[in-house]
Structure 1
């Protein structure tokens, strides 16, 4: 108040410019601003001391007496003005209260939450800090399309053909600078780190475990020693071919060198298939009979199949038989000649033995046939006794070979085995008999040459790089691509042959067990609940599918479910691993492979240790431990992140596994998909040219399935919070923010069904947020259709 102004006089109210000060996020229309400005100007006129056109008396202006209706008019205008001001004030107060409540809710979620500071969480935080926050720039983030033209993860956040907005570039630059400061405290360079496919993530997890210096039991230590000997390229190159030549001499030599003992054919074959897992004439493995599975039994049978012949062959539909194409024979000839040259074979004898190998391979190849042909002609799973097999293919000592390979499992003449191509087995026996007795080259040991060149192929992974390069050139000559596999990944893949139980033991962690089982229980529970509300249109199909779904139980699986470390050490007690000789270690690995094959007789299922997706076994849905590895899952991660990444993967896996393609979408689901797709086209502006894409049935199913999986994982996480309200966080994100941001960072390239998804899966976040009050921000695009208008497409409870 001014010093010269009486206290009883009030200062005039400052003029309020409504056009310049609208309520936040509540824009005023132009007609509203005009009305408010008009009222203000008229109010000023009402308070003017004089009015134009007033009369004067004696040269002085006289006040004009207003009629009564003018007084009423002024009063009405004043009432309108005051009412307008009051309404605006109420709107501002209401908005302010809502904003405070929203901020309070978000603050409650974040301020009282413990920030995760484990090493795994630090890596995850660094990864998230260098990624685009979808809630900061929804217009740029959610419009990427999955498909052949999809951008790489390092360009995520850009629209196709456009750069990042300037403010986003600055934000990312600042994030990169923050990350640079953190790199000294983190393991590895995390800038630009992307989500891997699940198989690679599992392999990297095993790599880290095998390269760690932690104290381990003897079995794990032997696995680590094998792994490191495989990585020791220098020792492998130094050894060269000598380890294999030594093995050949121990086996009695061969005709290529001119010195060999004329040992019995079947005795040599038994040694090769028993000790070195080399199957030159046929393949042996253990498995179920589909007819037994239908009857509900788990009995396992010895199965005999075609061999993996080295000679390239093709199937001739017209002739209904396999043939060797002329254009492939020259590369194959070069391969064989190079093999023998590397082994130091004399050039004169190598030509003869290469000819023998190609001739024998061709005779066996013509009797092979593709799986589809054998299935069509009922040649798979033909049951026959060992005694009957010996009568139909007498060149092989079947009883002796089977007993050698499957010892100590008993094999009797009356036992049944399953054949997968009886015509080939008969033809193979005839070819062997001919080369043993009648062929003019039998004195050169042609069958021995054939067996030892197959043995060489078995040991190629354990020999120096010249053999690997020879194989690579052979496949390139055939027009095949040869991907370059990192040495560490190659070594872990080889270990699976015999160290599978050790690798499974490495994956097993009781803390992981508990958290993984809790996640599976919550997700499967929500999945069944959602499944009850689905309408497939066909009542009988729906009831059958519901009965199947509700009969299933999820189970976490690992090969070491019943094996402790002491039991594992005992199993590997007779294994000796050298720190310098990878070739001798590889022989040990092949012996372990035979033991693994024999264990299958007593196992309920033959599973891949590198499996990263669930599978059905009886009335159980089995989830391998290989799914629960970083960066998709970690015991120290906030649950919001575990559910936001792996939880959604699990939900999608369940849908794909149980529904597959054997279902039709109901009208309600189809309408929802069409709604989402229409909104996506409007948001991306793809309908402007009138060339909107029409979705196929597979694409419609995938949109519905992926959104359903997002719903299931989100509701499962909410259910877990009801049981255990505490959860940590990263980067001070709220729970929902972390859940959805984690999901948004997962590249759709990592999933096998990504090709059927016509839009970026993270676009579905806009649908979820339109039906949930838990999202950290409204997903509005100022220059595009407001994304929250998707509310009519899909309620969260659907």
Structure 2
């Protein structure tokens, strides 16, 4: 194993207790400081009487025997003293250790947290499964999600992976859990599940938008009005497709309806990008050049990339080309016909336009390539001037389009832009030229129809449910089973796109009365987690010293801190949104304004030198020499300044540590043998405890899976060590539901560790199972996690 039991014990500093600091650090005194045990008086008297008798009988013998007897006497007394001292020391240690464990397990030994936030958290915790009272199966069910319940029929982690233990067909019945599930459902808790960080943040912003505590500034009222108009489904259904048809007429009509004034291609394209944030043929971003970031340059550039094509495509690794998915062409064609039918097109006319739309889409698809391929070919961040780009791709009026999008910023043909797929841009220009210049104006309508259907896709959130249902049906046909997000979540996301600065102010006002405490506790968690992370790096067995030095140099150069930005005054916000008018019953018109706002915000990024905090960010990022943690990570109910520290560290500490490991060590597998050893050790625990060891068909972990297991196991160790460090600095910590310290930390972790991140697919077991591995070392946990019917558990070692 990577660490010995003693090393792991030192690493985690495990001595959880509710005792005050001086008593908690009490150590038995050294043996030489203990007084010798008092001898029994009768024994002393008998020895005194015995010695004169010996002297009278044989003086010479007395002279010879006296030293030997005294030596034996002293030896016996010394042995007796050592035995009694050892017994006393053992008793002291046992009582001290037992007192510590009892203080962690006995309800009411700590000061309970009675704040409203704690009362809510306590109620929630009491309705969740406690791993220390149900050690046999709790790790098979996490996050309170139906997808993991035995009778849900949902896909569990690992299903679909050949040989995975959870893929073995077994009949499993947990009557107690089913009863609990039914009880929770009856109490209305089924809808109130433990959620991932992003959803928790969106719910918090939802509360801010729905709050009616005070009217707020004009800008705040507009943001809330926009949000509520988004929720007004009835008005959307009543309006139908009419708002979109009216917009098409303002843009010059289109050939599908038979009324099109044959607008200029580049003029229409510029208009769609400027006013409607629609990019049919290429995408536009604003950002820095990574080659300059290392030199401290803050300049931002216009960045041009391939578009998000509507037609489903796939990559052929043999031909090194993309193509439209043949098996999806029929359902895609049907969805396009449905859209045109909803927009009033006659079936006899729509088939022609759909056919040319798919043909044009298929040609563009061939030129598109996946990100990994472009990265391997060095096609990202290729610098050239707008003039050079114009010569490479002449079908697009690049200067005119970019000036329209980034108005009123002055742009010239000598300005630099960054390309992320120049071969696509060149081929795209060739395709457009073929359709535009080799046909008369009547047959060039496919380019216009292509742009209109892309605009329809952009505006679909503001149209009636028939359009979203058509898109949803196609998504299901293509194998996407994620489902449609709740309407409130869509509305929060759309509101943030246009009113991010308003939401940032609302978030600040909500926390103003306790902002100092939030910042203090958040900063403490960040600093303690980062310190524990650095300790973990030194414990790894690196392939060579150079790898460790390289990583440590990067780590030591970083400054971790909470990411906060300047908050605008009400007057500044009102001025910023002074030209925005929000209608209470027309979400479509509100949404069109939002798209314009979104594009203006994109333009502003080009001249800004500081990075504005992303209000929807829930993961840290590296900016220059700073490791920034956004405020969105520290919102209720996952975090609250009145929570016990054990709860905050158990819920927030683990994902922070996991994020740091992923961010700073994206590929640690090849640099440390510890990753492989620990990953296999944890997996062995899983197979043994779930009684899968020795069965045929059990698959071995891939390198990516081993790394992710190591990351999450290490993140839990780091978070627990950071909490114990906090406990040393602040010995008094409150309790929740009668739990305190390590037990509260691990119990709260088990309830909320189910988090959505891009690495989740590589985790072959539920993260809450890691508690079982942590607790394989008995003194790391307040109570044993031994399962009566798992006979092999006592053989497990510490990973």
Do the aligned residues in 2 keep the contact of 1:340 with 1:350 (CA within 8 Å)?
yes
- Rounded Cα–Cα distance in structure 2 between residues aligned with 1:367 and 1:666: 40
Do the aligned residues in 1 keep the contact of 2:774 with 2:780 (CA within 8 Å)?
no
1:567-582 matches, within 5 Å, as 567-582=572-587
Do the aligned residues in 1 keep the contact of 2:104 with 2:743 (CA within 8 Å)?
no
Residue 413 to residue 642, structure 1, CA distance change in 2 (3 Å)? same
Do the aligned residues in 2 keep the contact of 1:436 with 1:442 (CA within 8 Å)?
no
Do the aligned residues in 2 keep the contact of 1:766 with 1:788 (CA within 8 Å)?
no
Higher relative contact order (CA 8 A, sep 6+): 2
Aligned twin of 2:205: 206
Residue 291 to residue 94, structure 1, CA distance change in 2 (3 Å)? closer
Aligned twin of 2:391: 391
**1:789 deviation in Å?**
7.8
Residue 648 to residue 427, structure 1, CA distance change in 2 (3 Å)? closer
Secondary structure of the 1:442 match is coil
Q: Does 1:639 align with 2:638?
A: no
- Rounded Cα–Cα distance in structure 2 between residues aligned with 1:515 and 1:505: 21
Aligned twin of 1:662: 668
1:474-496 Cα distance to aligned partner (Å, 9 max, x none): 44555555622211122223334
Do the aligned residues in 1 keep the contact of 2:381 with 2:418 (CA within 8 Å)?
yes
Q: Does 1:651 align with 2:657?
A: yes
- Rounded Cα–Cα distance in structure 1 between residues aligned with 2:312 and 2:471: 13
Q: Does 1:614 align with 2:611?
A: no
**1:337 deviation in Å?**
3.1
Aligned twin of 1:4: none
Q: Does 1:523 align with 2:492?
A: no
**1:646 deviation in Å?**
1.2
- Rounded Cα–Cα distance in structure 2 between residues aligned with 1:370 and 1:219: 41
Aligned twin of 2:449: 449
Do the aligned residues in 1 keep the contact of 2:384 with 2:418 (CA within 8 Å)?
yes
1:752-783 Cα distance to aligned partner (Å, 9 max, x none): 55555565544544565576868443445566
Q: Does 1:583 align with 2:588?
A: yes
- Rounded Cα–Cα distance in structure 2 between residues aligned with 1:705 and 1:671: 12
Aligned twin of 1:62: none
Aligned twin of 2:545: 539
Do the aligned residues in 2 keep the contact of 1:640 with 1:738 (CA within 8 Å)?
yes
Residue 366 to residue 140, structure 1, CA distance change in 2 (3 Å)? closer
Aligned twin of 1:115: 112
Unaligned 5+ runs, structure 1:
1-86, 184-188
**1:684 deviation in Å?**
4.9
- Rounded Cα–Cα distance in structure 2 between residues aligned with 1:142 and 1:386: 57
Residue 107 to residue 344, structure 1, CA distance change in 2 (3 Å)? closer
- Rounded Cα–Cα distance in structure 2 between residues aligned with 1:191 and 1:95: 49
Residue 756 to residue 302, structure 1, CA distance change in 2 (3 Å)? closer
Do the aligned residues in 2 keep the contact of 1:778 with 1:788 (CA within 8 Å)?
no
Secondary structure of the 1:597 match is helix
1:169-210 Cα distance to aligned partner (Å, 9 max, x none): 99x69x969x98xx7xxxxx3379542222222222222322
- For structure 1, which segment, 137-146 or 345-354, has the greater mean C-alpha deviation from structure 2 after superposition? 137-146
Do the aligned residues in 1 keep the contact of 2:668 with 2:675 (CA within 8 Å)?
no
Over the aligned positions, Cα root-mean-square deviation in angstroms equals 4.3
Q: Does 1:594 align with 2:599?
A: yes
**1:438 deviation in Å?**
4.2
1:340-359 matches, within 5 Å, as 340-347=340-347, 349-359=349-359
Secondary structure of the 1:106 match is helix
Aligned twin of 1:53: none
Do the aligned residues in 2 keep the contact of 1:672 with 1:793 (CA within 8 Å)?
no
- Rounded Cα–Cα distance in structure 2 between residues aligned with 1:273 and 1:770: 59
Q: Does 1:225 align with 2:222?
A: no
1:286-306 Cα distance to aligned partner (Å, 9 max, x none): 123333335442322112223
**1:283 deviation in Å?**
2.1
Q: Normalized against structure 2, the TM-score is what?
A: 0.75
Aligned twin of 1:486: 486
- Rounded Cα–Cα distance in structure 2 between residues aligned with 1:359 and 1:674: 50
1:423-447 Cα distance to aligned partner (Å, 9 max, x none): 4434444444454454145377554
Q: Normalized against structure 1, the TM-score is what?
A: 0.75
**1:228 deviation in Å?**
1.2
- Rounded Cα–Cα distance in structure 2 between residues aligned with 1:378 and 1:676: 38
1:218-271 Cα distance to aligned partner (Å, 9 max, x none): 333322211111111100011112211222222232333333434443333322
1:36-185 matches, within 5 Å, as 98=95, 102=99, 106=103, 111=108, 113-139=110-136, 141=138, 151-152=148-149
- Rounded Cα–Cα distance in structure 2 between residues aligned with 1:527 and 1:145: 26
Q: Does 1:550 align with 2:547?
A: no
Do the aligned residues in 1 keep the contact of 2:135 with 2:786 (CA within 8 Å)?
yes
Bigger-Rg structure (1/2): 1
Unaligned 5+ runs, structure 2:
1-83, 157-165
- For structure 1, which segment, 231-240 or 189-198, has the greater mean C-alpha deviation from structure 2 after superposition? 189-198
**1:520 deviation in Å?**
0.6
- Rounded Cα–Cα distance in structure 1 between residues aligned with 2:438 and 2:480: 38
- Rounded Cα–Cα distance in structure 2 between residues aligned with 1:723 and 1:592: 48
Residue 561 to residue 433, structure 1, CA distance change in 2 (3 Å)? same
- For structure 1, which segment, 458-467 or 376-385, has the greater mean C-alpha deviation from structure 2 after superposition? 376-385
Aligned twin of 1:728: 734
1:136-173 Cα distance to aligned partner (Å, 9 max, x none): 34355468899x999449999xx99655598x999x69
- Rounded Cα–Cα distance in structure 2 between residues aligned with 1:501 and 1:438: 48
Do the aligned residues in 2 keep the contact of 1:153 with 1:194 (CA within 8 Å)?
no
1:561-588 Cα distance to aligned partner (Å, 9 max, x none): 4545543343223222111100000111
- For structure 1, which segment, 246-255 or 367-376, has the greater mean C-alpha deviation from structure 2 after superposition? 367-376
**1:604 deviation in Å?**
4.6
Residue 387 to residue 682, structure 1, CA distance change in 2 (3 Å)? closer
Do the aligned residues in 2 keep the contact of 1:287 with 1:303 (CA within 8 Å)?
yes
- Rounded Cα–Cα distance in structure 2 between residues aligned with 1:388 and 1:709: 49
1:528-558 Cα distance to aligned partner (Å, 9 max, x none): 2343344324111111112211211212225
- Rounded Cα–Cα distance in structure 2 between residues aligned with 1:328 and 1:153: 34
Residue 217 to residue 105, structure 1, CA distance change in 2 (3 Å)? farther
1:71-128 Cα distance to aligned partner (Å, 9 max, x none): xxxxxxxxxxxxxxxx9xx99x959983996179618996574423333322321222
Aligned twin of 2:20: none
Residue 525 to residue 569, structure 1, CA distance change in 2 (3 Å)? farther
- Rounded Cα–Cα distance in structure 2 between residues aligned with 1:726 and 1:378: 55
- Rounded Cα–Cα distance in structure 2 between residues aligned with 1:194 and 1:253: 48
